């Protein structure tokens, strides 16, 4: 019985290998092979494909200098008493990851934002052992994609595949530098497509694979059997911290659009429809008199937005996007955030029982702003703007400091561009109208409650 099972398993393995490498003749009934014929047959291997791929996958190491903050030793009197230097103390944080050369002539290398974002020093190591200092071209935290550039000869680049042609079950290989061990290849299949709701990136359409991905693989290549780049490995799902066969990669089609904008502008200029939506639940479908709960319903249309010009109204149900079924709010958000400004999309709209198509051209989100000098003379040189829709989706509130002139009262007090003002004195500030409502109020001490990357603190402006 055990022998029969082993023979059946051997036959099944031969069948899969024959289909995998396109050798249908392996399944044909043949006489028992001799030792000479077995030796003459080529062994199935990924090596020929990988010989073309691995020179394009690089190791990336980065160093970031981070200021060390200490409430006790930051006090100038304490520093003077202990004779500490006036310059802030720093520590160096190091990051290790992978990257993929996508343009050999210009030396462009794709990687993850979390590998190189904010780094002061980036080094790229090629498969042949050469090291190069890299220039950061641009990063996009919203998709976790970054582009760096090296100046080197004899580079080899990977072509990008059309990731929309991927199917669950397709064979893929992951190439990177896990744990700093050196270049490593693992193989598996595409386990799922279109994964979202993972990690910190806002625009998500991940490829899930069971090819082993571990720390250090971030930014490395996920390739098909033709040696084409189908994705950039970016994260794993693991209760223990090690590989459990659930890894995720950013698909090449998403990367391609982001990369073009990073190279052209250094950042991604995102379009916006100017609407708020929610999924159509069975309860909402019944309320709107719909026959199914597919699509998403428009709950708000901003005045003067691309959606308003296209004729969309609250209560409209969006059913398709560029001819494809629209099944989630995330799918629409991805399209808004990944297409460049000026792109035109076609939406299928169900309104009052009638189905129609509308075309909308994505525009930049218009954010209202306010000159601080209109609120208080001590705020001259400061400009505030309302938070973007994406920032509000993250649960943030307040107003963004978009400009601070050097040597202004606010700059000397420690207010910085990018700070978010969440309060003035004891008054909570949730949005720009609330801040504008304080015009004319002249407190003796102007105290702003500010949130930044290190938390919240007070800024006293005299």
Top-level class of domain 47-268: mainly beta
The reply to whether 369 belongs to the active site is no
The reply to whether 153 belongs to the active site is no
Angle between helices 329-338 and 252-265 (to 10 degrees): 30
Which one of 114, 252, 316, 409 is the catalytic residue?
114
pLDDT of 160: 93
Task: Please report, for the chain, the start and end positions of each structural domain, with discontinuous segments joined by +.
Answer: 47-268, 275-361, 369-461
The burial class, CB within 10 Å (0-12 / 13-18 / 19+), for 373 is middle
Which one of 140, 142, 144, 419 is the catalytic residue?
144
Intrachain domains 275-361 and 369-461 with the same fold: yes
Bridge partner residues of 460 (DSSP): 447
Bridge partner residues of 103 (DSSP): 108
DSSP, residue by residue, 71-139: TTTTSHHHHHHHT--SSPPEEEEEEEEEEEEEETTTTEEEE-HHHHTT-SEEEEE-TTS-EEE-EEEEE
pLDDT of 10: 41
Alpha-carbon span 417 to 401, nearest angstrom: 5
Task: Tally the residues of the chain.
Answer: 462
CB 346 within 8 A of CB 310: no
Bridge partner residues of 348 (DSSP): 320, 357
Top-level class of domain 275-361: mainly beta
The reply to whether 154 belongs to the active site is no
Q: Which long-range contacts (CB under 8 A, 24 or more apart) does 8-17 make?
A: 17/44
Per-residue pLDDT of the chain (462 residues), as tens digits, is: 333 333 333 433 444 444 444 444 444 455 666 666 656 667 788 889 999 999 999 999 888 766 655 555 555 555 555 565 555 556 666 768 899 999 999 999 999 998 888 788 899 999 988 999 999 999 988 888 999 999 999 999 999 999 889 999 999 999 988 877 788 899 999 999 988 766 666 677 789 999 888 888 888 899 999 999 999 998 877 666 666 778 899 999 888 888 988 998 888 877 778 888 888 888 888 887 777 778 889 988 887 788 888 889 898 899 888 888 887 887 787 777 777 778 888 999 988 888 889 998 888 767 778 888 888 888 889 999 888 766 776 678 888 998 899 888 888 888 888 899 988 888 888 888 888 877 767 777 888 888 877 778 888 887
Radius of gyration of the chain (CA): 28
Say whether domain 369-461 belongs to CATH 2.30.42.10.
yes
CB 62 within 8 A of CB 95: yes
pLDDT of 1: 34
Alpha-carbon span 27 to 387, nearest angstrom: 63
Which one of 218, 252, 335, 408 is the catalytic residue?
218
């Amino acid at each position: 019985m055990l022998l029969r099972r082993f023979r059946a398993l051997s036959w099944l393995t031969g069948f899969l290998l024959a289909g995998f490498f396109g050798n249908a003749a392996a399944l044909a009934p043949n006489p028992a092979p001799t030792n000479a014929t077995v030796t003459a047959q080529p062994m199935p291997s990924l090596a020929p494909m990988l010989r073309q791929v691995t020179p394009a996958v690089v190791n990336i190491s980065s160093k970031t200098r981070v200021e060390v903050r200490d409430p006790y030793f930051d006090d100038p009197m304490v520093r003077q008493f202990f004779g500490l230097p006036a310059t802030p103390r720093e520590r160096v944080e190091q990051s290790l990851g992978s990257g993929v050369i996508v343009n050999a002539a210009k030396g462009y290398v794709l990687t993850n934002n979390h590998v190189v974002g904010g780094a002061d020093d980036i080094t790229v190591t090629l498969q042949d052992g050469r090291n190069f200092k890299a220039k950061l071209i641009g990063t996009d935290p919203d998709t976790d994609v970054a582009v760096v550039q090296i100046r080197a000869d004899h580079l080899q680049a990977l072509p990008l595949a059309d990731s929309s042609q991927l199917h669950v079950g397709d064979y893929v290989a992951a190439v990177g530098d896990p744990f700093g061990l050196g270049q490593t290849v693992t193989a598996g299949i595409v386990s799922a497509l279109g994964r979202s709701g993972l990690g910190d990136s806002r625009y998500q359409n991940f490829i899930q694979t069971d090819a082993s991905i571990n720390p250090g693989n971030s930014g490395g290549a996920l390739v098909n059997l033709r040696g084409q780049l189908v994705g950039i490995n970016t994260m794993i799902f693991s209760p223990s911290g090690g590989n459990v066969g659930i890894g995720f990669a950013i698909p090449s089609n998403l990367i391609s659009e982001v990369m073009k904008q990073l190279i052209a502008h250094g950042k991604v200029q995102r379009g916006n429809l100017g609407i708020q939506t929610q999924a159509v639940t069975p309860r909402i479908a019944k309320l709107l008199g719909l026959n199914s709960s597919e699509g998403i319903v428009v709950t708000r249309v901003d005045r003067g937005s691309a959606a308003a010009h296209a004729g969309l109204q609250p209560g409209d149900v969006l059913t398709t996007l560029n001819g494809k079924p629209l099944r989630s709010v995330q799918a629409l958000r991805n399209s808004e955030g990944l297409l460049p400004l000026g792109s035109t999309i076609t939406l299928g709209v169900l309104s009052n029982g009638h189905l129609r198509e509308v075309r909308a051209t994505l525009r930049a989100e218009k954010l209202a702003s306010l000159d601080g000098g209109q609120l208080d003379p001590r705020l001259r040189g400061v400009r505030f703007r309302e938070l973007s829709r994406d920032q509000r989706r993250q649960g943030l509130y307040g107003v963004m400091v978009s400009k601070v002139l050097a040597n202004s009262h606010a700059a000397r007090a420690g207010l910085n561009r990018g700070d978010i003002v969440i309060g003035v004195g004891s008054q909570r500030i949730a949005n720009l109208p609330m801040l504008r409502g304080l015009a004319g109020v002249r407190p003796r001490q102007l105290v702003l409650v500010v949130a930044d990357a290190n938390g919240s603190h007070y800024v006293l402006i005299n």
